[in-house]
């Protein structure tokens, strides 16, 4: 294993220390327990947004802490849910008297630990609502979940709910909007190869030289089929058809389209993938209202790509376009 680390057991701590040094204008990093907050908290009366999960998916979630998105993020160990204690402390830090929304990817550990933290927060008179993100269409159940996984669509929930909270919406309304985004968003990804968790020291799975895994999760979980390498156009077409079909998109509709890198894919290849996606949408008479290409929800150094489509309407686009200032989205 070759990685630019010092101690495989200190990767998250040293990452957070470097993150704090690199972005002191945007974030404060707290230790023991570990969580990240805005450098300048919002005034009283704003709904707080908290998300988190295992590290290794950067810039998710800490990279989206800031104006217009999250108030706090909680990083666990690599590919491991944070425990309830740091989630509770992040929730307390994000609370400005109007309640807190937890945005939780649908992985069993995350769901249970955020649920426990919400119960503890309630004992401290902090009202917490929770939205579970489950945008992955590839598999219904996995090694990590009951039901569909939460993957790259999480950032759309964080962005749009964050904009609603920033303009002063009440907790019930912010939760409604977050739920609407999740309901109108679908994703699917593929891997050209595995990633290596630092403390494991070996690849998370094996692929042959000419093999790919379709429908992978963001922890390297298996997909719905393993196949031979094909052209970018062919692979994106398969992802697109499953996402479009599950979302039920029809001619004349609008979408926000995201081509997301899994951490090890050159940006040039991501643009080739977006080229293919744009052509497929145009062929089906579906308009791209907004588009994003880049590494937003990754799996360490995994080579691969995911496609996310969100059914767009005027309400969601207004919030999508609202000001935002975070490390990873400006």
Instruction: Mark whether 219 is an active-site residue.
Output: yes
Sequence-ordered strand ranges (E) for 56-117: 66-67, 72-78, 100-105
Contact 224, 217 (CB under 8 A): no
Q: Kind of pairing, strands 225-228 and 72-78?
A: unpaired
DSSP-derived secondary structure for 129-155: EEEEE--B-S-S--SS-SSPPP-TTHH
Active-site choice (23, 30, 102, 219): 219
Active-site choice (23, 30, 57, 102): 57
Instruction: Mark whether 57 is an active-site residue.
Output: yes
Distance CA 45, CA 96 (A): 6
Instruction: State residue 229 phi and psi, 5-degree precision.
Output: -60, 135
CB atoms within 10 A of CB 122: 11
What residues are labeled active site? 57, 219
């Amino acid at each position: 294993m070759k990685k630019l680390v010092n101690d495989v057991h200190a990767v998250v701590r040293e990452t957070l220390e470097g993150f704090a040094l690199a972005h002191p204008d945007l974030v404060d990093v707290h230790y023991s327990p570990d969580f990240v907050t805005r450098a300048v908290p919002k005034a009283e009366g704003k709904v707080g947004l908290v998300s988190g999960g295992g590290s290794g998916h950067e810039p998710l979630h800490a990279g989206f802490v800031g104006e217009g998105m999250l108030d706090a993020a909680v990083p666990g160990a690599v590919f491991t849910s944070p425990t309830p204690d740091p989630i509770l402390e992040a929730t307390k830090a994000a609370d400005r008297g109007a309640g807190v929304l937890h945005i939780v990817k649908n992985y069993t550990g995350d769901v249970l630990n955020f649920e426990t933290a919400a119960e503890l927060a309630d004992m401290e008179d902090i009202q917490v609502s929770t939205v579970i993100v489950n945008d992955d269409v590839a598999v219904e159940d996995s090694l990590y979940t009951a039901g569909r996984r939460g993957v790259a669509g999480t950032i759309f929930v964080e962005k749009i709910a964050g904009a609603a909270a920033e303009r002063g919406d009440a907790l019930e309304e912010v939760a409604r909007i977050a739920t609407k985004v999740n309901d109108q968003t679908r994703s699917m990804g593929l891997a050209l190869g595995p990633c290596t968790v630092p403390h494991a020291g070996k690849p998370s799975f094996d692929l042959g030289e000419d093999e790919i895994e379709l429908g992978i999760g963001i922890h390297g979980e298996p997909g719905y089929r393993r196949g031979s390498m094909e052209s970018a156009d062919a692979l994106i077409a398969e992802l697109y058809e499953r996402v479009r079909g599950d979302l039920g998109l029809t001619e004349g509709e609008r979408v926000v389209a995201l081509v997301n890198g899994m951490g090890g894919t050159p940006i040039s290849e991501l643009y080739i993938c977006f080229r293919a996606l744009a052509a497929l949408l145009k062929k089906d008479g579906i308009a791209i209202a907004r588009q994003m290409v880049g590494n937003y929800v990754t799996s360490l150094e995994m080579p691969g790509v995911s496609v996310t489509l969100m059914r767009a309407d005027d309400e969601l686009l207004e919030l999508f376009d609202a000001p935002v200032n975070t490390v990873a989205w400006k």
